[in-house]
Structure 1
Amino acid sequence: MSESQAEFHDRLARIYRKQAETGLTSRKSVTIDRNGYVIVRGAGRGRGFPWAGLMMVVVSFFVIKGVMMSQIGADFYTQNVVRLSGGTQVEKAAAWTMRPDPISSWLATQIKANL
């Protein structure tokens, strides 16, 4: 067996051994680099649920509500939410999400105190 074939078989043995250790058996892509080596890339891990993005949306939602309550006043804000709750289904859903809650009320008082 020539030296290049032995090197190729050794490389394949390392690849298969690595696959057996990591449990990655499916192949995502097979390419040949400019030196003639076969590069086998295993499938990457599946992406999980984006918890950080979801938390950023939730925190932003409460912060925006708190800023609105501090700027226009809690009484006026509550009146507008009550006015919305008498409308269509979409307006009722908006009124339900925009109703004052302890977190946004606390944020509004903190923003008002620090201005």
Structure 2
Amino acid sequence: MGHSQLQFDRRIRRLEKTASRRRNGVRYVVGPDGLVVAKARRRAPSFPLRGIMILAAAALLFKAFLLVNLGGITYAERVAELQQGSVLEQAGAWIMQADPATIWIAEQIKSFL
């Protein structure tokens, strides 16, 4: 009785493992013998590249709108004030510097206004 129970437990563990793999989806593959077999899809760790790109674009637009609304001189003065602050403010000043992309976007926005 103990040996058959052990075999049964092994089969149950194997079935649960297969079922958990298939939770990510399956793909169907035709084997060399012509039999269609369901294979579990591998789940690759996903890096939120799209979200980071959207965040970077939003930051550029925000900087460009600030540059248009405040003007170049006032914007530069405020960034200089941030550079005199704490480490966090200095990091913000580094991010908020008027880079060529921000200036180009600001010029495009000015042309529409």
CA gap of 1:106–1:29, structure 2 versus 1, over 3 A, is: closer
* Structure 1 residues without counterparts, runs of 5 or longer: 1-24, 31-39
Partner of 1:55: 53
1:12-27 equivalences under 5 Å are 26-27=18-19
The answer as to 2:77 corresponding to 1:79 is yes
Alpha-carbon RMSD: 2.4
Instruction: Give the TM-score of the pair, scaled to structure 1.
Output: 0.62
Q: Distance in 1 between matches of 2:19 and 2:41?
A: 6
* Structure 2 residues without counterparts, runs of 5 or longer: 1-16, 23-37
Partner of 2:102: 104
CA contact (8 A) 1:29 1:41 kept: no
Letter in 1 for 2:96: M
Partner of 1:28: 20
Higher helix share: 2
CA contact (8 A) 1:27 1:43 kept: no
Instruction: Give the TM-score of the pair, scaled to structure 2.
Output: 0.63
Partner of 1:14: none
Q: Distance in 1 between matches of 2:55 and 2:97?
A: 17
CA gap of 1:78–1:51, structure 2 versus 1, over 3 A, is: same
Runs of at least 4 residues off by over 4 Å: 40-44
Aligned residues between the structures: 82
